[in-house]
Amino acid sequence: MNLTTRKNGNVRGALTFAVLATIMFALYVAGKVAGMDQAAIAFADSIRSDVGTAFFRLVTNLGGGMFLVPVAVMMIVVLYIKKYRVEAMFVLISLGVSEVANELLKLFFARPRPSGVNLIELPESFSFPSGHAMIGPAFYCMVAFWFAQWFAEKRWSSLVQPAVFIFVAVLAFSRVYLGVHYLSDVLTGFFLSMCWYFLLRLGYEEWMGRRRSTVVDPIPHSR
């Protein structure tokens, strides 16, 4: 797959999720999200169990700052030492921009969080859009993208990105299951995160394409 084809795919992906996020913003502003939110709450209640609660508590922790920040710092340090400095920069950009944008959107919309279930401690921040759904997915998908490239010769490499996409979708849903977000919070955050992921890929591949041939090496080399 050449650089132009990948670029077009990234642009289409970013535009698709940007449109979906815009639709969610429009529905929220118009007050048209109550139906989907209540349906999701009812569904989560219908499948709730002790095992499910333990599982989703574990998953949701993998999308929080207490986990992501140390992991990101370690990644940045290791990548920088190994001279993968472009990747280290993109890790920082991925999480930094997502965090700032999410905080600004929460403050702007100032939506109270749902109450009544709260299977984990209710965060003090506002609800819309979900930070777990907006910050973690782009980061995890970008890391999966790199792994799929670096280990392209491995049989399992083709499974990395689909598996991570499923994981981040489950991560996003965990916020509804645990009662700390509405579905509309999660969908908006997730669509924004996927848009950001494709923009990150676009920027990364454009950057790297100028430094080497359009054929991506299957095994990472020092930069």
- CA–CA distance, 183 with 177 (Å, rounded to integer): 9
- CA–CA distance, 191 with 138 (Å, rounded to integer): 10
Q: Where do the H-state alpha helices sit in the chain?
A: 3-29, 34-47, 50-61, 65-81, 85-109, 131-150, 157-177, 183-209
Where do we find the tokens 């140390």?
A: 70
What is the mean pLDDT of the segment spanning 192-202?
97
Torsion of CA 12, 16, 17, 21, to 10 degrees: 150
Mean pLDDT score of the chain, rounded to an integer?
A: 92
- pLDDT exceeds cutoff 60 at 219: no
pTM (whole model) above 0.85: yes
- pLDDT exceeds cutoff 90 at 155: no
pLDDT score of 157: 87
Higher pLDDT, 153 or 15: 15
- pLDDT exceeds cutoff 70 at 217: no
Q: Where do the H-state alpha helices sit in 62-130?
A: 65-81, 85-109
Where in the chain are the domains? 3-209
pLDDT score of 212: 67
Tokens of 5: 């084809």
Higher pLDDT, 217 or 169: 169
Tell me the pLDDT tens digit for each residue of 101-124: 999 999 999 999 998 887 988 888
**Cβ count near 13 (within 10 Å):** 17
- pLDDT exceeds cutoff 90 at 191: yes
CB 136, CB 62: distance < 8 Å: yes
pLDDT score of 214: 46
Ramachandran quadrant class, 64 (left: phi over 0; alpha: psi -120 to 50; beta: rest):
beta
Tell me the pLDDT tens digit for each residue of 42-81: 999 999 999 999 999 999 999 999 999 999 999 999 999 9
CA 110 to chain CA centroid, Å, is 21
